[in-house]
Structure 1
Amino acid sequence: MTTLPAADAPIPIFTTLQDLYGSVTTALKHAERWDELAREFEIKFGHKPTYIARAPGRVNSHTTGEHIDYAHFGVFPAAIEHDILIACAPQSMSTTITHTSTNQPGSVVAENLHTRYTRQVFTPTRRHTVGDDVLQGAVRVAPWHLDIDKSELRWESYVKAGYYGVLNHFFTPSSASPVPVPVEILVTGNVPAGSGLSSSAAMVVSSTLAFLAINGIFDGEDAPTKGELVNIAMENEKRVGVNSGGMDQSASVIALPGSALYVSFAPSLHAEPIVLPRNAVLVCANSLVISNKAENARHQYNLRVVETLGAARVLSNYLNLEVDSTDGKTTKRHLVTLREVLARKGNFYRDEQDAQQEDLTQLRKGLEDMLKGKVLDYLLPRIEGRTGVTLDEMIYMSGMDKTEFMEVYLSWVDVETTHFELYLRAKHVFEEALRVLQFREVCSAGGESKLQTLGKLMNDSHESCDKQFDCSHSKVNDLVQVARSFSEMETGRGKGKVYGSRVTGAGWGGCIVCLVHREDVDAFIVHVKKRYAPYEGMSEEDLANWVFATEPGMGACG
C-alpha cells in the first residue's frame, strides 16, 4: 500500500474524541471543553453546531529552526495539545432576529466563549481594488473583501483572515455555489495569546477549517489537502500584517501524534514525521511577557524578514549569482532567499519541477562550507565597531539602484530601523538551519547521549536567538536560567534532568520550551513555579496555565 506524503494527505474528520486523541484517557481529559462549547453554542444560537473545527498551537521542538522558515530552510515544529476550537452552523431564523445578522450570503455572527470578547457581525463584499481584480474567463471579478484593522488587532480579525482564503479560493462565479452560506460560530481556545505557541496561526487555521466545513468543501474534488490548507492559511495570516514563513501553519495542520515534523519548503512544501525520544517530555513555561507579533512587526518580525532577504540579495551580488530573470531587454528582480543563495553557491540548485525532495547531505555540506569561509564577512559594514548597515549602505551592497531596491524589498512591508543587521541575521539563519539537520540525525541514535546532544542544540539555539537574531527578552532569559538550574537540584533520582531550554516561537516574550526526562517532569514544573519571580503569589490554577507538559499531538481536523 502506498502512503501519501504528509502534506498531500486529506484533512481528517473525526466523529469521536478517542479517534482524535488516540486514547480514552486523553479524550476524557479534553471532553469537558468540547461538551461546554457545544452546550454554549446551543444556548446562544438555539440549535446544535453542525461542526467543530480544531487547530492546535505548536511548539518548536528541541532545536527547530527559529526564524528560518521564511528563508526557506527546513524547520522542526510539533503540535501541542492546547488548541483553538470553533463550533459552527448555518444561520437560523432565530439568529437573524436576535443577533441582528442580515442573513445575507456569507454573513457571519461570531461569538467567543471568553466574556472579554464581544459578539461581532460582519458580511463579506466584493470590492474592486486597483491591481487586485482577478481574471476569470473573459471577465474581471472583484475579490471578496472584509475590513481588518491592522493597527489594533481584535480577535475577530483572525476569524476574518481565515475567511478570506475560503472566499477567494472557493467562491468564484464559476464555482458550483458562487456564494457562501450565512454562518454562526462560537470560538474558544486555551493557547495563550502572545505566548510564542502560535495562537494566531491556530486561530487562522481553525477559522479557515470552520468556513470550509460549513460550506461543504471538505468533500469532493475541491477539498484541499493538508499542504494546500497550509498555503491558504499562510496567505490568510498575511491579512493581519504578519509575513509568516509557514512553520506555524505547517505544524498546526500536518502534525501527527508522537512526532515532530521536519518541514522543508524547497523545492516545494514537504513534511516528514520524525518520532521524538520516548523518555523525554516537552515542558512549556510562559514568561508572562506578551509578544504581539502583528502589532510590533515593524521593528521586530517583519524587520527580520527584510534583513534576511536583504542579506540574501547582498550575498548574491557579492558571489555573482544569477538569481534574477531576463528576457534580453529587461531584468525582473526576485526576492531571493538565503536558502537559494546557498543552493546556487553550491551548484545544487534545481528547478522545482525537476526536484522531488531536497538532498539533505548536500544541504548540510553547503551550510558547513558557508559557515567555515569568510563569505558572510561581506555583510559587515566597513566602519569599525558596527555590525549593522544603513539603508543606503545595504542598497549599495545589493548592486541595485535605490528606486528598484525600494520597490522590490520595502514597498510591500512596513519596517522601522536605522541599521539593518545583515551579518548577524544571516549567521543565525545558516547556523540554525545546520542545527535542524543535526537534530534529524540525532533522533536516529539511542540512549542518554541522544538527549544530552539535543539539549546542547537547544541551548545553542537560544543563545543564537538572543545574541544574533535579537528575538529573546530579558525575562525570557531569566526563565531559561531558572529552567536550566534544575540540573543542579537533587531529586530522588539524583541531579534533575533538564537537557535544554530555549525561547520558542517568534520571541520577544512568550514561552520557553524545555526538554525534561519523563520521570522528572513533575519536580521540574514545581521547581520553575517556585523560582521564576513573576509567578510569585499566583494560584495553582493560574500556574497550571503558564507551566505545563505537552505531548506532540494531532494537527488540524474537523
Structure 2
Amino acid sequence: MAAQASIPIFTNLNELYQNLGTSLNHASVSPHSERWNNLTEEYVKRFGRKPTYIARAPGRVNLIGEHIDYALFGAFPAAIEQDILIACGPRDTSSVPGGVVADNLLAKYARQEFAPSIVPKDLGVPDEHVHVEGWHLDIDTKKLRWESYVKAGYYGVLNRYFTSKGALPVPVDLLFTGTVPAGSGLSSSAAMVVASTLAFLAVNGKLDDSSALTKGELVEMAMQNEKRVGVNSGGLDQAASVICTTSSALYVTFFPHLFAQLIPLPPGAVFVCANTLVVSDKVVHARTRYNLRVVETLVAARVLARRLGVKLQEEAGGKRERVTLRVVLGRWVGETEETELGAEQLKAALEKMVEKMELLKPDNADGEEGVTLETMIEWSGLSKEEFTETYLSWVDVEATYFQLYKRAKHVFQEAALVLKFREVCLHAASAPDVDGREELGALMNASHASCRDLCDCSCPELNELTQLALDAGAYGSRLTGAAWGGCTVSLVAEDKVDEFIKKVQQGYAPFRELEGDSLKEVIFATKPSSGACVYKFED
C-alpha cells in the first residue's frame, strides 16, 4: 500500500533527480542543479557551514474531487514539479534548546527566530495561541505569516518525539526557497508544512531508523499540523505532497482510515495549470469560505441523518457526535466494518443519495437563500448550547444564510465523479485501445459546474479561464484547490500543449504581456511528480 511506504532519503543527487521525474525544468539529471546548489551555497553564506539535509515537498494539483475530503470522501490529486525546499542543519548545542532560525531566499519574507517553551498543562494561554501537550509556540491564526507554517510543522515533531522529561529538540537553522505560488490553489501551505515537518524530523534524527514514520503517518501528522494555522484541512493536499509518484495520480480516501492508491493516467494526457492571479488565502478568508464549507457540510450531515432515520451517537461525556456525510451514507446503506463499501457499491450509493437531497431544501421556493442560524439549529435537533459546542466552538465562521442543501449535493455528486474518474483511468490502463481522455474531460467539466453552482467556490476569473481552455482545445477544465481564485487545471493532448498555452495567453488579459519565465510561472504543463523526500549530505 502506498501509504505504508517509507519516506525516501537520498545521498546521491542523480538518484534524487531521477526520482523527481524527467519533466522537471529545475532539476536535470546532474549533480549541478542550479537551484539546489544555489540553496546550499546561500546556506553556507548565511550560517557559516553546509546544511545537513535538504527537505523537499511538492505542491499538488487536484484533478477532481474538490471540497469533499473533509467530508471523508476520496479525491484524485497529483504532485507537481513546483515545490518547497528547506536546507537545514543543527546549530551549536550551546544555543537555546530547540531554538529555530528560519531564513528565506525571498527577501519579502523576513528572517524569524523563535523557540518552543514548555508550559504546564494546567496553565491557560490566550485563545489565539496554540497550546498542545505542554509545548507552546506563538501562532496567530488571525494573521497570515510565513513562519506560522514552519511552527505548525514543528509542533507535530515536538509532540510526537519530545514529550518525555529530559528529551529536548536540537537548535536548528533553516533556509527556505519555493516555486509553488502562494494562494494559487496548488497547495503551497501544505507543501510548507510537510517540508517543515520533514526538516525538523531529519535534523533531530527521527528518519534514520526502522521506527521512522511511514508516508501515511507523515500525512496524518502534517494534517494535524496545518490545522494549527487555523485551516481545517481534510488531508488531500498533504497526501498528494507526500505519497505521489512520477508515474501516477493518487486516489486517496480517509474513511474509515487513510487509503492511497496510485492510479496511472492515460498515455498522452498532460495537465496544464493556469493561475488566475487572484490570490485566495485560506487563512485570511477561512471564516466566510473554507471553514464555513466545513461547518455547512457537517451540519448538513446531522440534518440529513435525522431526516433519513440514521442513528446518531453520543460520545463520551455526553458530547454530540459530529458526524460526516460519508458516515451518514455508510450507515444509511447498512455499511459495517465487515461490509465496507467497495468502489462500485459506493458509487451506486452516492447516486441514490443525490436523489435524497430534496430533504435538505429550505422552505423558500428555489433554496437560493439557504437557512438562517436559528433554522439550522432547529433542524439539528440540538439546543443552542449543544449546537454551539458541537459545530461552532472549535472554528470561526460567518454567514447570514447557510447552504446545507447545495453543499451536501455538491459533496455527493463530486464524490461520484471522483469514482468515475478513477474507473476511466483504470480502464484505459488495462485496455491499450481505450483513450479515455474525452471521458475524463467531461467529468472535469461536470466537477467545475458543481463547484461553481453548488459549492460556490469559483470566481469570475476561474470561470473565464476554464471556458478559454475549452475553446483552446482542452478535453476538460476545472478549478483546482480551495478556489475563490488560484488555478485551473485542464486536460490537454501532449502534442497540443504549446499551441494550447499560446491560445490561453492570448485570451486571458493578465497573461498577454507576459513572456519567458514570467509566463511559465502562471501557466505551465505538468505530469505527476514524486512526493516528499529528503536529501542527506555526506560527511
TM-score higher than 0.5: yes
Whether 2:360 is the aligned partner of 1:379: answer yes
Matches within 5 A, 1:460-539: 460-487=446-473, 498-539=474-515
Matches within 5 A, 1:11-22: 11-22=7-18
| 1:132-169 Cα deviation digits (max 9, x unpaired) | 89xxxxxxx95211101222211111111100100111
Cα offset, 1:537, TM superposition: 2.1
Cα offset, 1:288, TM superposition: 0.3
The residue type paired with residue 293 of structure 2 is R
Q: 2:143–2:283: 8 Å Cα contact kept in structure 1?
A: no
Q: 2:335–2:341: 8 Å Cα contact kept in structure 1?
A: no
Count of equivalent residues:
517
What is the match of residue 347 of structure 1? 334
What is the match of residue 86 of structure 2? 86
**Aligned to 1:197, what secondary structure does the other structure show?**
coil
Cα offset, 1:335, TM superposition: 0.9
Whether 2:107 is the aligned partner of 1:115: answer yes
What is the match of residue 305 of structure 1? 294
| 1:188-225 Cα deviation digits (max 9, x unpaired) | 00000000000000000000000000000002254111
| 1:488-537 Cα deviation digits (max 9, x unpaired) | xxxxxxxxxx1011100000000000100000011111111121011232
What is the match of residue 157 of structure 2? 166
Name which of 243, 254, 263 aligns with 1:254.
Answer: 243
Whether 2:438 is the aligned partner of 1:452: answer yes
Matches within 5 A, 1:62-81: 64-81=64-81
Matches within 5 A, 1:353-364: 358-364=341-347
Structure 1 unmatched runs, 5+ = 94-101, 134-140, 488-497
Name which of 165, 168, 191 aligns with 1:179.
Answer: 168
**Aligned to 1:325, what secondary structure does the other structure show?**
coil
Name which of 248, 254, 269 aligns with 1:265.
Answer: 254
**Aligned to 1:57, what secondary structure does the other structure show?**
strand
| 1:274-319 Cα deviation digits (max 9, x unpaired) | 0011211011010000010111000000000000001001011112
What is the match of residue 30 of structure 2? none
What is the match of residue 435 of structure 1? 417
Q: 2:60–2:241: 8 Å Cα contact kept in structure 1?
A: yes
Whether 2:404 is the aligned partner of 1:422: answer yes
Q: 1:85–1:189: 8 Å Cα contact kept in structure 2?
A: yes
Whether 2:198 is the aligned partner of 1:196: answer no
Q: 2:272–2:490: 8 Å Cα contact kept in structure 1?
A: yes
CA distance in 1, matches of 2:269, 2:299: 39
**Aligned to 1:445, what secondary structure does the other structure show?**
helix
Name which of 371, 383, 387 aligns with 1:401.
Answer: 383
For the structure 1 residues 270 and 89, does the alpha-carbon distance in structure 2 shift closer, same or farther, using more than 3 Å as the test?
A: same
CA distance in 1, matches of 2:418, 2:25: 35
Cα offset, 1:541, TM superposition: 2.2
Q: 2:427–2:434: 8 Å Cα contact kept in structure 1?
A: no
CA distance in 2, matches of 1:157, 1:485: 41
Q: 2:133–2:163: 8 Å Cα contact kept in structure 1?
A: no
For the structure 1 residues 473 and 149, does the alpha-carbon distance in structure 2 shift closer, same or farther, using more than 3 Å as the test?
A: same
Q: 2:315–2:321: 8 Å Cα contact kept in structure 1?
A: no
CA distance in 2, matches of 1:454, 1:460: 10
Name which of 36, 39, 44 aligns with 2:38.
Answer: 36
CA distance in 2, matches of 1:217, 1:132: 30
The residue type paired with residue 84 of structure 1 is I
Q: 1:21–1:554: 8 Å Cα contact kept in structure 2?
A: no
Q: 1:293–1:301: 8 Å Cα contact kept in structure 2?
A: yes
For the structure 1 residues 474 and 222, does the alpha-carbon distance in structure 2 shift closer, same or farther, using more than 3 Å as the test?
A: same
Q: 2:75–2:418: 8 Å Cα contact kept in structure 1?
A: yes
Q: 1:53–1:209: 8 Å Cα contact kept in structure 2?
A: yes
Cα offset, 1:17, TM superposition: 3.4
CA distance in 2, matches of 1:87, 1:188: 9
CA distance in 1, matches of 2:286, 2:387: 21
The residue type paired with residue 515 of structure 2 is S
Name which of 239, 249, 265 aligns with 1:276.
Answer: 265
- Percent of residue pairs bearing the same amino acid type: 56
Cα offset, 1:448, TM superposition: 6.3
Name which of 126, 138, 142 aligns with 1:147.
Answer: 138
| 1:395-428 Cα deviation digits (max 9, x unpaired) | 1111111110110011000000011100000000
For the structure 1 residues 131 and 248, does the alpha-carbon distance in structure 2 shift closer, same or farther, using more than 3 Å as the test?
A: farther
What is the match of residue 95 of structure 2? 103
Q: 1:132–1:142: 8 Å Cα contact kept in structure 2?
A: no
TM-score by length of 1: 0.89
Q: 1:132–1:143: 8 Å Cα contact kept in structure 2?
A: no
The residue type paired with residue 381 of structure 1 is P
| 1:442-468 Cα deviation digits (max 9, x unpaired) | 113335651100000000100110111
**Aligned to 2:388, what secondary structure does the other structure show?**
helix
For the structure 1 residues 47 and 482, does the alpha-carbon distance in structure 2 shift closer, same or farther, using more than 3 Å as the test?
A: same
Structure 2 unmatched runs, 5+ = 28-32, 126-131, 535-539
**Aligned to 2:455, what secondary structure does the other structure show?**
coil
CA distance in 2, matches of 1:300, 1:129: 33
CA distance in 1, matches of 2:61, 2:14: 23
Q: 1:267–1:358: 8 Å Cα contact kept in structure 2?
A: no
CA distance in 1, matches of 2:38, 2:153: 24
CA distance in 1, matches of 2:22, 2:434: 29
**Aligned to 1:368, what secondary structure does the other structure show?**
helix
The residue type paired with residue 185 of structure 1 is L
RMSD of Structure 2 on Structure 1 (CA): 1.9
CA distance in 2, matches of 1:358, 1:122: 47
The residue type paired with residue 66 of structure 2 is E
What is the match of residue 218 of structure 2? 229
**Aligned to 1:84, what secondary structure does the other structure show?**
strand
CA distance in 1, matches of 2:144, 2:12: 34
| 1:9-41 Cα deviation digits (max 9, x unpaired) | 111111233323427955784221111100100
Q: 2:319–2:390: 8 Å Cα contact kept in structure 1?
A: no
CA distance in 1, matches of 2:363, 2:246: 50
